[in-house]
Structures are given as C-alpha cells and as structure tokens.
Amino acid sequence: MGKTALVLGAGGLTGVGWEIGVLHGLAEAGVDLSDADLVVGSSAGAVVGAQLTSGRLTLPELYERQLADPKGEIPAHLGAGTFLKYARAVLSSRTPEAYGQKLGRLALAAETLPEADRREVIARRLVSHAWPPRALLVTAVDARTGELRAFDADSGASVVDAVAASCAVPMVWPPVTIGGRKWIDGGVHSCANVQLAAGHERVVVIAPQPAGGGPLLSPRRQADQLEADGARVVVITPDAQAKQAFGRRNLDPARRAPAARAGLAQAAAHVAEVGRVWRG
C-alpha cells in the first residue's frame, strides 16, 4: 500500500469544478496532488478522480475544461419534494446501509431519462474510457442492499459505468446496471468515503459537502478516525466565496465555471498545510 491518498468527495457539477480548481491552484503553488498513490472518488469526485489519473490532460488543461461551455451536460435540480424525501430517509435510518436502501427504493421507482442516455453524458465528460494505471477507487451504493462498493480496475466494471453509477443521484439520474445489479450515487454512503484511505500515512480530503447527517459521518469526523490511527490528514471544504459560487443548484452546468474559479482562489489558503502533510 502506498503512503499518500487523495480523497475527492461528492458535490454535483459545482463540486467537479471546485475540486479541479483547488487541485490546479495547489499545483500552481508547488503542491501537486496528482501523484497520489491512491485516489478515492465519490460522485463528483469520481469524475475528477478518473480525469486526474487518466494522464491524458494536465491540471491546467482540466481546469480550462471547467471554464468551457458545458455543452452536452443536462441541467438538473433537486426540488423541495426530493429534499424532503432525503431528509426523511436519513433521519429514519440508523446506518448508512439502511439509508442507502431507502434511497435505492426511491431511485428504482423514479421516472428519469434512460440509463443509456445518462451514460453517454458521463462518457463525454471523461477524458479516457480505460482504467488508469494508478490506483483509483470509484464508489457506488447497491440500490437494493444499501451496501457500499468501491470499483477499481479489477472489478470487472468499465470506468465509464463505475463513474456513471457513482454519479447516479437518486430520483434525479437513473440507477446504473453493473454485474446484473443496480447502483446509485457513492455519496449516499458518505459524502467523501474517507475511510477508504485507511492505511495511508498522508491523506488530503477535498470535500464539496462538509456536513454529515443522521448515520452519515462528515468528512472531518472520518478524518479524525484516520488520525487516531496515526495518519496525517488535511480536509479542505468550501469557503464562503465557493459556497456563493455554488449557489443552490449544484447540478446546474452553468455553475461549474464559477465554482472552478472559486476553487482556484481558495487553494492559496491551504498550500502551506497541504504541503507539510503531502511532503512528509
């Protein structure tokens, strides 16, 4: 097992833009996290992780992609009724798996666009359709059991299907079929799944969603558990400027560019701390 891990959390299209902005800003300041021994990606983080580890584009090039016209993306919105269903499910669940089961049932019953159409969007979003040579874990949740799965190059799933599953926001996008089972958003189990970096000495977590809720631990609390086991961990969450850039529509493609710019601006505040941890 390697020494360094980069954990990229869930957060919609604004999360994709903001994470890449932060990574680009850190690299410009001399702290390049793209050489991580392990990258863990959940939902938005799965997109960023797959792009980052592909080796096809540099961080400046990935950043410029966030500023481009988001053609091919499909706007979506979590309405008040959907939020209420999420809240009821999390407050009535004692474990992440129970929460995943409840959202899985709702996701399987929801009317959404066809699975194949959504897969095409994800395929266009990625810069490579092959698993990278470096360790990448892409999280998703079994829609029937609520159990978390971390897909990798040895899982038998294509990277496009794994990322599509990780981004399958319940009741917004269709569950994704892999291995005869239906999968939903990896952020349902945890908004960052920091626990998957256990065993690494130095961990940086970039989490667009800082809060937990009910049985779901926040990225900071998960990081505390790693630190208790001896790891050095930095958790980066959105500052006030980034939250303003996100607005209330984190699935709106038009918000991706402002979020990326906010991430780039925020990175400067974290260079020293991240550098101390990453360089050992």
- The CB-side HSE value for 55 (13 A sphere, CA atoms) comes to 9
Task: Write the CB contacts of 134 (distance below 8 Å, at least 6 apart in sequence).
Answer: 36, 37, 39, 53
Residue 76 vs residues 122, 183, 226, 272: alpha-carbon distances, Å: 14, 19, 35, 37
- Annotated catalytic residue, options 42, 43, 190, 218: 43
| SS3 state of residue 38 | strand
User: Any catalytic annotation for residue 43?
Assistant: yes
Task: Establish whether 92 is a catalytic residue.
Answer: no
> What is the token pair recorded at 99?
């929460």
Contacts (Cβ under 8 Å, ≥6 apart) of 99: 89, 90, 93, 146, 188, 189, 214, 215, 216
Amino acid of residue 219:
P
Assigned token pair, 195: 């626990």
Catalytic member of 93, 185, 190, 252 = 185
Helix or strand (DSSP H, E) at 82: helix 80-91
The set of catalytic residues is: 43, 185
